Structure 1
Amino acid sequence: MKMLPVADRATIRGSVAELARDEKGPLGVTLVLHLAAAVVGLAAPWLIGRIIDRVIGGAGAGEVDVLALAIGGCVVVQILLSRTAQNLGNRVAERANARLREDFVARTLRLPVSVVERAGTGDLATRSSVDVATVGNALRQVVPTVLISAIQLVAILAAVFLLHPLLGFVVLAGAPSTIAVARWYLRRAPQAYLAEGDATSRLTETLTATAEGARTVEALRLARQREREGTARITDQWTTRRATLALRSVFFPVVEFSYALPAAAMLLAGGFFLGNGWLSLGAVVSATLYSQQSIEPLDRIIIFLEQAQRGGASLSRVLGIGLVPPEPRGVATAPPGQALVVRGARFSYAGGHDVLHGIDLEVRPGERLAVVGPSGAGKSTLARLLAGIDAPREGVVSLGGVPVTELDPAERRRRIALVTQEHHVFIGTLRDNLAFAAPDATEDDMLAALAAVGAGWYGDLPDGLDTELGDGARQLNPADAQQLALARLVLADPHTLILDEATAALDPTTARRTERSLGAVLEGRTVIAIAHRLYTAHDADRVAVLEHGRISELGSHDELVRAGGAYAALWHSWHGDKA
């Protein structure tokens, strides 16, 4: 399994800057409101200091009451400013989160199918669920909280320095230890959280594969092997989470210790300054209150710094989807009614040996070609090359003289359709599921397509085309889902159709009837069938026998049977079993 890429820091900074530029007006107003709230919040400690100094100076109750009322008024104004700023900031964060999610979906849908298949469902599923949710939480909570707390902290430090520069330096007593441990943590945290995300993806992939292949696991008695695989992935995840926990177990205790230093230092230094007459008692009390007041925003920054690392790691994984080179947007077009030609095609999957070895094949327009051969011969790989999903390592696959990989993807999908035995029923109505293939199809078109593939189960649906399908609604069994996929194919009406064991989930009788119905509907179309049932080869115009990645025989059914080669042996063996 090849994991999808992750974005580097420059890409992350660029994405964040772009989001900020898109919201620069509301974001600017939010910052101004938070700054105003922070400044107003500084009034209370300063006024308390003034009250102390005025009482020592002999002020009356009336003057103290006025100052106390001023404190109450500042608290009310601060609450109003903070609430307004938070509401506006939440709207900014939600819009940014929505834009990020939309971009993620758009990038995911542009991923080449081959890249998705190599990465596996686990990595993509984790990024689209866990990582996207983590980034959303960061935008809603982490970023605003850190930003607000930073503004408050800077304002508090500025207020202390204004009281007296010496007090300003004293309030920074906890800074050296905090900065040192934060730098230590930030050097290690990004990679640690990326490793944790990677381990989660691999665990999800393993669990998904085991669940989807439960019947195969049971039939082949692979339970112990899958348990060992799952245990190994859980161990990897536990190890990576333990690594991030080890970082937090150092980081947070040091920071908590650093919180007490400014207040203690302020009391000691303030006493010294007061004894020497450098400051008034009110100034010392105000500075001490400011040092205590700084703990809350600093604590929020520290706490959310850990979540920010998670959010940053998840953002790099979300943005990493956009680093995958998009499917080539060819501009070439191929005239209709042309041959699909393979010349000297060799292909190997990443890091492996060649699966196909110098394939030469020409599929004539309107021809029905069956490809047969033993398991592992490369039949499905050849189908993928013909459909343009993968490109040959050497050689070329062309349609009307134009390499299929140079065709515009939209045109290529209109011209060549690949249907496999893996089908998906989308959550929605039957009408929605059919409309994916032909958005402009009428109800009559959809009904005709269902009838063409023998989907008799349609008549039992309570709401016809408006029946809800998928999780939480009506479930289609594998055979029905396969016929639904074939009905989509009829609606798509491609020039060339590649069936990679597309009727494998159907029983032999239904499969035979479905293929005959499809044959009538697709009359005049080019059909390439990866055949596991040899009656498909019997009905084809020509049969290509694929063995060990090479075409060993090519001809009509009768010609190959008379030749007495590999196909004849397969036919006699298969036909004898059926007799």
Structure 2
Amino acid sequence: MSDTLKETQAPRRKTPRASLGSSEGDDIFGTFDVGVARRFLAFLTPHKRAMATAQIAVLIYAACQVAIPAMVGQAVNAAVARDGARLDRTLMIFSAVAVAYAIFFFTAEWLSSRLAQRVIFDVRRAMFAHFQDVSLSFMDKTHVGRIMSRLQGDVNALQEFLESMNGALGDFVMLVGIAAVLLITDLKLGLLTLTVLPALIAIRAVWLPYSKKSFRVARDASSTANSALAENINGIRTVQESRREALNFELYKEKAFENFKAQNGASWMTQIMVPTVDVLTGFAMAVVVVVGGEAVLGGHLAVGVMVTFILYVNRFFEPVRMLSMQYTIMQRAMAAGHRIFEVLDVAVTISDKPDAIPLKDVAATVEFRNVTFGYDPKRPILHDISLTVRPKEVVALVGPTGSGKTSIIALTHRFYEVDQGQVLVGGHDVRDVTLDSLGKTIGMVLQEPFLFTGTIEDNIRYNTAASLERIVEAAKSVSAHDFIMRLPEGYDTPLGQRGRNLSMGQRQLISFARALVADPQILILDEATANIDSFTEQAIQKALKVLFAGRTCMVIAHRLATIRDADRIVVLQQGRILEQGDHDELMANGGLYSHLYTSAHASFDDQVVAVTGDAEFATRT
């Protein structure tokens, strides 16, 4: 991780946050959170020079805007007095100010936009990097739609604020400058003109509570709609298989309509201030025309001053209107920042200890010492498990669904922390070794392999620096080379999402080739043949023999025939080891494994009730 990225992630607040699934974190509209602002400055710090330059440009163009009406008034007075020389000087200065305004306005807008893009790039990068490190326990209980809402919607709201931030500074400078010039030019008329400000403040005080509620509801509705959309897209295969499209559409239409109403209400609350400001502008203009007109007719006020006041009044409420809108943007950005920092504050529970050591030149062993573990600490999945896998030994884990097989391999790779006991790899507690070295020592092939967007070559190489020759060699070893070469572009064939343009068996063979290229000392297979047809399984079995050669292997399988040749078979039930030994020993024991194997090589789930007589357990699992 780069130093810049580390800077943008710090400092982190120590206060607890609401979970990503709650709406408590959204109820902050209208509140300026100093803590959020301070943390946000950490993202701006690397770009302080660009920000300062943009703000200087804003101040200059705002000063030009304040000066232009005064010069117009001077030009009118010069024209009325028939003072040609004075009029020419005024027009020359006016032209120079107008050119300066155009140049510095463009410069400020360009710098502000570029600054916003750079900061948002840092924010997205920090969030993405953090999500790479958060534990699976967090990902298991957090809806992907809510995560995407943070990564997209909230970041976009922050970008909108950044792009308008310098504009708000310019509007504020204009507002103060115009008020000062009005009072200096004519104190009485200036005070009369500014009498509309108390009314504007009172209106905003009434508007603010309603806007807070409206914006909060809009944000919650948007998050809910996004979650429903993401869930439907992720499960589109199941939706189409069960022909549930119509029902899903009705369910989503309801959420989308609620989002529409909420966004419409928020938009109405945003826009209501525009006509309000217009009415106040008209009232202030009427004051200038009536009072100023009488003063001009009475000879107490110059015509140029009258024109200057009219122009200033017309300009005065434009920054008021813009500041009202930018305040709304700031409210949204504050909520977005709060939610973004919720993401960055998610605890990284699985991380390297300060004195973690790399795994190298160690025996490829896996040992569980009195391990108790549960995804919910109150409901353990594993109970006091003790198990040793020796170097180059193939150990098969079998048992009914819910018996703890997948939990054992997850703990071996330290995806989760044990509640009690120890998990050791190479003789070292997995909590005492670096995650990088653990990941290189242990390779995994899952039941449904995940292939990424890219070519077949990219997916086999994955996170190694393997040459094409090494990739082809690995593909040949696992019987994947022939079908790859039959594809239109061979190893350069681009894969669709998750490799959907390949069959399940072909995807599994590519995942085997990937594991072979990575060359781990310990290999874990989690139901690698569960979704494979019998014909393809023959190729898979040949590939497995290549993968197993010279490696310590842990294999999970429901099909008992697929693990008959394992050095040792461990039978699990309800989170405990029921029996273990090789195939012949377990058959001789006449236990659960023997009963299931003699039942036409059934799986544990097929006949667990018949063997154990535990119908309630079968229902639970």
Say which of 327, 337, 341 aligns to 1:319.
341
CA distance in 1, matches of 2:362, 2:215: 52
Which position in structure 2 is the counterpart of 1:296?
A: 318
Matched, 1:307 2:324: no
Match of 1:46 among 46, 62, 70: 70
Per-residue deviation at 1:246?
A: 6.3
Q: Residues of 2 paired with 1:186 and 1:502: CA distance?
A: 58
Partner SS state of residue 282, structure 1: helix
Structure 1 counterpart of 2:568, one-letter code: R
Q: How far 1:292 sits from its partner (Å)?
A: 0.9
Q: Could you tell me whether the CA contact under 8 Å between 1:482 and 1:505 is conserved in 2?
A: no
Mapped partners of 1:305, 1:566: distance in 2: 69
Q: Does 1:24 align with 2:41?
A: no
Check if 1:135 corresponds to 2:158. yes
Q: Residue 260 and residue 454 in structure 1: after superposition, are their counterparts in 2 closer, same or farther (change >3 A)?
A: farther
1:420-440: per-residue Cα shift (whole Å, max 9, x none)? 2243332222232223231x2
Query: How many angstroms apart in 2 are the aligned matches of 1:94 and 1:111?
Result: 26
CA distance in 2 between partners of 1:351 and 1:307 (Å) = 43
Alignment partner, residue 463 of structure 1: 489
* Preserved CA contact (<8 Å) 1:358 1:550: yes
- What residue ranges of structure 1 are gaps of 5+ in the alignment? none
Alignment of 1:78-157 (within 5 A): 78-139=101-162, 141-157=163-179
Partners of 2:526 and 2:556 within 8 A in 1: yes
Q: Following the alignment from structure 1 to structure 2, what is the Cα–Cα distance between the partners of residues 115 and 349?
A: 11
- Choose which of 399, 407, 410 in structure 2 pairs with 1:373: 399
Give the TM-score of the pair, scaled to structure 1: 0.86
SS at match of 2:529: coil
Tell me the distance in 2 between the aligned counterparts of 1:350 and 1:473: 33
Contact preservation (8 Å) 2:135, 2:416: no
Distance 1:238 1:156, change over 3 A: same
Distance 1:113 1:74 in 2: 60
The answer to which of 186-195 and 419-428 deviates more is: 186-195
Judged with a 3 Å threshold, the aligned counterparts in structure 2 of structure 1 residues 398 and 472 are, in CA distance, closer, same or farther, namely closer
Tell me: CA distance 1:385–1:35, structure 2 relative to 1, closer, same or farther (3 Å).
same
SS in 1 for 2:381: strand
Q: What secondary structure sits across from 2:408 in the alignment?
A: helix
Instruction: Check 1:464–1:264 CA distance in 2 against 1; reply closer, same or farther (3 A cut).
Output: same
1:323 is displaced (CA, Å) by 1.0
Relative to structure 1, is the Cα distance of residues 171 and 499 closer, same or farther in structure 2, using a 3 angstrom cutoff?
farther
Contact 1:340/1:397 (8 A) holds in 2: yes
1:17 shift after superposition = 1.7
Using the TM superposition, name which of 58-67 and 443-452 deviates more: 58-67
Distance 1:293 1:250, change over 3 A: closer
What TM-score does the superposition give when structure 2 sets the normalisation length? 0.81
Q: Is 1:283 aligned with 2:305?
A: yes
Q: 3-state DSSP class of the match of 2:599? A: helix
| Mapped contact 1:270–1:284 kept (Cα < 8 A) | yes
Residue of structure 1 aligned with 2:463, choices 432, 437, 442: 437
Whole-angstrom distance in 2 between the partners of 1:183 and 1:38:
27
- For 2:384 and 2:336, locate their aligned partners in 1 and report how far apart those are by CA, in whole Å: 43
Q: Structure 1 residue 337 and structure 2 residue 363: aligned? A: yes
Name the counterpart of 2:381. 355
SS of corresponding position for 2:382: strand
Amino acid at match of 1:40: C
Greater Cα offset, 166-175 or 183-192:
183-192
Output aligned runs, 1:235-254, within 5 Å: 237=259, 240-241=262-263, 244-245=266-267, 247-248=269-270, 254=276
Q: Which residue of 2 aligns with 1:3?
A: 20
Q: 1:402 to 1:252 in 2, by over 3 A?
A: farther
Q: State the alpha-carbon separation in 2 of the partners of residues 410 and 314 from structure 1.
A: 33
Indicate conservation of the 8 Å contact 2:398/2:572, yes or no: yes
User: 1:3, 1:61 → 2: CA distance?
Assistant: 69
Q: Which residue of 2 aligns with 1:160?
A: 182
Q: 1:209 aligns with which of 225, 228, 231?
A: 231
Task: Find the residue that maps to 2:373 and give its secondary structure.
Answer: strand
Provide the rounded CA distance (Å) in 1 between the counterparts of 2:596 and 2:498: 44
Distance in 2, matches of 1:574 and 1:170, equals 98
Tell me: CA distance 1:211–1:474, structure 2 relative to 1, closer, same or farther (3 Å).
closer
Does residue 1:446 correspond to 2:463, yes or no?
no
| Alpha-carbon separation, structure 2, partners of 1:402 and 1:108 | 27
1:85–1:234 CA distance, 2 compared to 1 (3 A): closer
Closer, same or farther: CA 550–351 of 1 in aligned 2, 3 Å: closer
Change (3 A) 1:532 1:235: farther
Decide which of 519, 541, 553 is 1:493's aligned counterpart.
519
1:441, CA displacement in angstroms?
Answer: 0.8
Q: In structure 2, do the counterparts of structure 1 residues 172 and 196 end up closer, same or farther at CA, with 3 Å as the change threshold? A: same
The answer (yes or no) to whether the contact 2:373–2:381 under 8 Å persists in 1 is: yes
- Secondary structure in 1 aligned to 2:134? coil
| One-letter amino acid of the counterpart of residue 506, structure 2 | D
Q: CA deviation at 1:165?
A: 4.2
Q: After the TM superposition, list the runs of 4 or more consecutive aligned residues in structure 1 that deviate by more than 6 angstroms.
A: 4-8, 220-225, 272-278
2:3 corresponds to which residue?
A: none
Tell me, yes or no, if structure 1 residue 532 matches structure 2 residue 558: yes
**2:284 matches 1:262:** yes
Give the CA deviation at 1:144. 3.5
Distance 2:547 2:602 in 1: 31
Q: Is 161-170 or 489-498 further displaced after alignment?
A: 161-170
AA at the equivalent of 2:335: A
Is the CA contact 1:546–1:553 (under 8 Å) kept in the aligned structure 2? yes
Q: 1:518 maps to what in 2?
A: 544
Shift of the 4–383 alpha-carbon distance from structure 1 to 2, 3 Å rule, reads: farther
Q: CA deviation at 1:196?
A: 4.3
Structure 1 residues 68 and 218: alpha-carbon distance in aligned structure 2, compared to 1, 3 A threshold: closer
Tell me the alpha carbon deviations over residues 466-515 of structure 1, each in whole angstroms, 9 at most, x when there is no partner: 33333599933433233222222111222222211133333233234324
Q: Number of aligned residue pairs: give it.
A: 575
Sort the Cα spacing of 1:424 and 1:150 in 2 relative to 1 into closer, same or farther, 3 A.
Answer: farther
How far, CA to CA, are the matches of 1:153 and 1:195 in structure 2?
Answer: 32
